[in-house]
Amino acid sequence: MDLEKVLHAMTPEVYQRLMTAVEIGKWPDGTVLTQEQRDATMQAVMLYQSRHNQDAEHMSVEVGGEIKFKSKAELKRDFGANEEEARAIEDIARFNHNEL
């Protein structure tokens, strides 16, 4: 089987089904993936991401095959935390020297 043909024919919908199967370990019909199926599906997902993933999530493969690790600040921005909420999350507790 020609890998390029498979990747070219893979639609975003098929990619999403494969991604979900890898994440939950089951096909959409509920059948459990074998280890071989999981390995092959994970490789297909990573290859697809390396060609098409323009908006890489935390720890995913982005275009060009590079693994993308988003920073805490990037994740907060992506999930909609505003500036004040982001600071509140960062600041668990702050004390001055004379308050200790």
Rounded distance, CA 96 to CA 98, Å?
6
Measured in residues, the chain has a length of 100
CA dihedral 10, 13, 18, 20 (to 10 degrees): 160
CA-based nearest residue to 69, from 83, 59, 54, 57: 59
pLDDT band for position 4 (cuts 50, 70, 90)? confident
What is the number of H-type helices and E-type strands within the chain?
5, 2
The answer to whether the beta carbons of residues 33 and 26 sit under 8 Å apart is: yes
Q: Tell me how far apart the alpha carbons of residues 67 and 60 are, in angstroms, rounded to a whole number.
A: 6
Encode pLDDT of 69-93 as tens digits.
667 677 677 667 555 655 555 556 6
Task: Give residue-wise pLDDT tens across range 12-67.
Answer: 899 899 989 998 999 999 999 999 999 999 888 888 888 876 665 555 667 677 76
> What stretch of H or E contains 73?
helix 72-78
